Structure 1
């Protein structure tokens, strides 16, 4: 995998409003050429960091936050309890993230494998719960077959901003 460009790193740091030191690559770009989802190394500052797909697009972050404010986390948790096929697909998404995360580990970090294989996306321990819709959308946009991420994406009418302003002047 090639190293992330300095330009992408600057845009990501602008999008997030902070320094980031464990980004590996950009998984998805918007039509303006700016990062939407990044791939993060599962160890940050010497400790496990189970969130490998991170949503960086400010527009999508806001749109997903609106869905959370409307109670969609609870709605998805109810769907997980009531729909066995959806629940199975959701668990499989966690297992896909776990496998991808473990495959990213360098030899010197394999001591964390036991911990990292015991939690799903974003460190979720109970696969009947939903921690954050941003995580699931990021997984979905990064290529994980995540049914919550897909539904979140489908619920968002406007998939990107009008200006590509998040990457301006970096």
Structure 2
């Protein structure tokens, strides 16, 4: 595989997509292995990242939301207490807890495809499998994996407004970080 200095997989990720992610994040894209999901406007929404950053630091967040409009909408949900309510439901609903554990296992399996990193073995992201710590990770996982894999990610995704409305999230339009 051909990688740039930031660990991005140039064989699988177009330079235009890396440039878009860099604009979205306001910093260089790091360890991007593929675009895992796109906004309806066509810009990257979620990237799949290497489990270890170029400098060697373990990075458990396999699916990372990059679209500023998407992340802003998710942040609004977080500020409204959605994570605490979801965590409480996990304690009360055995079926939901079992489905969330399966999401955790799916996340770990996706990361294992990219290589083993002993420092983060068994650790997924977003609080899985016992609590909800980060809706950004759960929504990113749902967008990348598709419906039915992460029940709480799917639920949060359903709560979001149509963040892509009003123009391309990667352009100079309002809502962009360019």
Instruction: Provide the alpha-carbon RMSD of the alignment.
Output: 1.9
Given the two structures, how large is their TM-score scaled by the length of structure 1?
0.87
Runs of 4+ more than 6 Å apart: none
Given the two structures, how large is their TM-score scaled by the length of structure 2?
0.84
Residue of structure 2 aligned with 1:148, choices 137, 145, 152: 152
Q: Which protein has the bigger helix share?
A: 1
TM-superposed deviation, 1:168:
4.5
Q: Deviations over 1:90-121 (max 9, x none)?
A: 1111111111101111xxxx4x2x33322012
Structure 1 CA distance, aligned partners of 2:29 and 2:85?
32
Structure 1 CA distance, aligned partners of 2:96 and 2:162?
25
- Pairing 1:104–2:114 present: yes
How many residues are treated as equivalent by the alignment? Answer: 162
SS in 2 for 1:43: coil
Structure 1 CA distance, aligned partners of 2:29 and 2:101?
29
Structure 2 CA distance, aligned partners of 1:51 and 1:34?
20
Unaligned runs of 5+ residues in structure 2 are: 1-8
Structure 2 CA distance, aligned partners of 1:143 and 1:76?
20
Counterpart in the other structure of 1:120 = 124
Matches within 5 A, 1:74-89: 74-89=84-99
Unaligned runs of 5+ residues in structure 1 are: none
